[in-house]
Chains A and B, each alone.
Chain A
Amino acid sequence: MGRMEYFLEIFFGGLTRGSIYALIALGYTMVYGIIQLINFAHGEIYMIGAFTALIVAGVLGSLGMPGYAILLLTLPIAVIYASAYGFTVEKIAYKPLRSAPRLSPLISAIGMSIFLQNYILLAQTADFLPFPNLLPYFDLPDFVGGILTSSEVTIVITAALVMAGLTSFIKFTRMGKAMRATAQNQRMAMLVGVNVDQVISLTFIIGSALAAIGGVLIASHIGQINFYIGFIAGIKAFTAAVLGGIGSVPGAMLGGLVLGWTESFATGYVSSDYEDVFAFALLVLILIFRPAGILGKADSQKV
């Protein structure tokens, strides 16, 4: 393989990873934007989305359903379930702590993350489970055949469409405006008649739905899942969110891509042993040197 082809393969690999990170990062960034909480359990929501998809696809497959029908049913069910989990987690672990000291909901979120991981571990299994490839297969033109696969194309296009949808939702709908208002100033939003509880719930639901889509896509692509995938993916997506500027929706998308490429190129050209170290190191470096991220604004504390 030529050097250029190797480069392009890594480039598209990074783009694929990056789109997934971006999808999950959106959940972190939206929640942070609205209630200033690092939703530590968000990675677990993504994992639960993938698990639900695995179970549903398994059941449908045993009924002898064709592949595209399985995908069309599995994806919405996974999305609904992940959203339901996201919604419930907020009600149990975060809502009662809205006026508590800042670290309390974070500790609660860490607890929730551990709880959900072990819930899956106990109710399902600790082993890696092979995940069926639900993504449609199609022939690519010859000149790109060696560089990228059809599932990569599907992932990137799906992620782009979803993010475009989200952006227009936030920009143009009434609810989207309410979300932006709440993010800017919760008390003012409440005073002008925004139902803040509803906005927060919706934020969790949307974030979880995006995570589930990401989960199903990447699980199909990689081909296996276990109860622990949410932890690493969660931290990486959080890194992406911080990288782009936490609280900023375009920032999360940009951050996801930057992280995806960083990882791909670092593992492709430097060393694959330290794959996760690159992401963690990037996280540490950004937080130290530019905590506001690429697109974020530095916030000053009020006295």
Chain B
Amino acid sequence: MQGLKKSLLTAVWFMFLTFPIMVIRVNTIEKTIVWRWENLALVGISVFLLSYVWRFLMSRRERGNKQNAFATDDRAQAFRALIEDRRIRYSLIAAFAIFVGVFPFLFSMYQVNIMISALIYIMLGLGLNIVVGLAGLLDLGFVAFYAVGAYAYALLNLHFGLGFWAVLPMAAVLGAFVGILLGFPVLRLRGDYLAIVTLGFGEIIRLVLENWGTFTRGPSGISNIPRPDLFGLEFGLQGRIIYMYYVVLALVLFTIAVVTRLKYSRIGRAWMALREDEIACQAMGIDKTQTKLMAFSLGATWAAMAGVVFAAKTSFINPASFTFLESAMILSIVVLGGMGSTVGVILGALILILLPEYLRAFAEYRMIVFGAIMVLFMVFRPQGLIRDRRLKRRFHPAESSKGAEAVPTGEGMARGAGSHG
């Protein structure tokens, strides 16, 4: 009864709240007014139902907080055991690898193009994950480096005729350089200020691209950017798309390898420590600024490389592709997937990029859903879909009693790291 009353009250409150916006539509040019009363009913009913869901999630959250962190729920435990079984794990990975490998031959070019987009977002997500997920620096201007990469390719190609493979490493270096340049003055700021400054930088770079017409061709953008070439080989249109797919796939695999290795390295540990407690981190001898700068510029490197790929894929770029919303979208990929978790970010990118493509009716709700995801995940599942887990090293009791010679070597570490990506 209590719940019913609460839900009714909530529904009435939201009907009041959304009344002018949802029901009335005023056209101030033609002086017409449309009343959409059906929306009022819609809001009432959906809020009524959602409030039950909200309360259920809230109570679960509260219970979760009280529970010891040792006790994760059984289903997750069973699932994990299943995943950790070597045979099942490897056959799953193999099946997935084969699927990804033959994808362009199974599906239409339209699908392949969409998948290329998703792969670019995986790259971006993993890059941002270094900055946000590992080092805990909220970078809201990530798209600026993406723009740097895209424009680097477009302009270098336009003026000097440089190809994709020549520009890719140059853009990476340029991204790192711009990252250091922008990061150096701002990285000593507190987390929330840093977020706003990076947002400011992102917008400044976009506005400069828009207004510096002689250099960037302004809002009309740059077109006819070539796709990647392969030792001067000529492909047909279809061949070019398929080749593009494999290029991006290779870059994504490279990214995954790099991110995984970084995560379990001396630097990766320092990033995570910095995220957890800056003061303790400094007291342990870690140079705060330098460590942050590494994460920031490495993220920028990846964004710039993704930018080159993006320019090559669409063959047309303009400043409108690099708005704050783009940064927010990449951030929601990371938030949804799970900050710090590589598998999570990949999953997040696939869900957020592919779902709106395949559910066309849903496409216009894309941004509103991104917004909702960011709020709801922060409130109910801040760890994201896949919780980032720390690498466990198996010390057997027998070994540890034998002493220091028996501790695992770096070799064992490397293997462990590889399998926990």
Residues on A lying within 8 angstroms of B by beta carbon are 36-38, 48, 51-52, 54-56, 58-59, 61-62, 81, 84-85, 88, 92-93, 96-97, 100-108, 110-125, 129-132, 231, 235, 238, 242, 273-274, 276-277, 280-281, 283-284, 287-288, 291, 301, 303
Contact = CB atoms under 8 A, between A and B. Distances in A.
B316 to A, nearest CB: 22
B279 A301 contact: yes
A104 B33 contact: no
Given A105-B378, A114-B328, A58 B136 contact: no
Contact of B195 (A38, A54, A61, A123): A38
B192 A85 contact: no
A62 B31 contact: yes
B335 interface: yes
Contacts of A238: 196
B111 to A, nearest CB: 27
A97 B364 CA distance: 29
B154 interface: no
A102 B276 CA distance: 11
B372 interface: yes
A280 B335 contact: no
A274 B213 CA distance: 12
Interface string B189-217: 11111011101110110011001000000
Nearest to A225: B28
A283 B197 contact: yes
Given A85-B17, A100-B382, A107-B138, A114 B28 contact: no
Given A123-B22, A235-B203, A104 B375 contact: no
A303 B375 contact: no
Given A122-B365, A124-B25, A291-B193, A111 B372 contact: yes
A303 to B, nearest CB: 6
Contact of A58 (B28, B203, B207, B368): B28
Nearest to B185: A288
Nearest to A56: B20
Given A118-B371, A284-B204, A107 B192 contact: no
Contact of B16 (A56, A84, A113, A235): A84
A107 B33 contact: no
Band of interface residues on B = 35 or more
A118 B185 CA distance: 34
B48 interface: no
B298 interface: no
Closest 10 CB pairs of A and B: A111-B374, A115-B371, A58-B26, A114-B371, A118-B368, A108-B378, A111-B375, A280-B200, A118-B367, A273-B211
A226 to B, nearest CB: 12
Contacts of B376: 111
Contacts of A113: 371
Main secondary structure, interface of A, reads helix
A113 to B, nearest CB: 7
B138, B325, B374 — most chain A CB neighbours (10 Å): B374
B186 A287 contact: yes
A115, A131, A301 — most chain B CB neighbours (10 Å): A115
B332 interface: yes
A105 B375 CA distance: 8
B368 A119 contact: yes
Contacts of B286: none
A55 B20 contact: yes
Contacts of A288: 185-186, 189, 197
Interface string B143-158: 0000000000000000
Contacts of B29: 129-130
Contacts of B279: 301, 303
B21 interface: yes
Nearest to A284: B200
A277 B208 contact: yes
B189 A291 contact: yes
Contact of B28 (A96, A116, A132, A287): A132
Interface string B53-76: 000001001000000000000000
A277 B204 contact: yes
A97 B203 contact: no
Given A277-B204, A280-B207, A55 B195 contact: no
A58 B331 contact: no
A114 B325 contact: yes
B375 A93 contact: yes
Contact of B375 (A37, A48, A92): A92
7 contacts: A61-B31, A62-B31, A88-B17, A107-B374, A123-B22, A276-B203, A287-B189
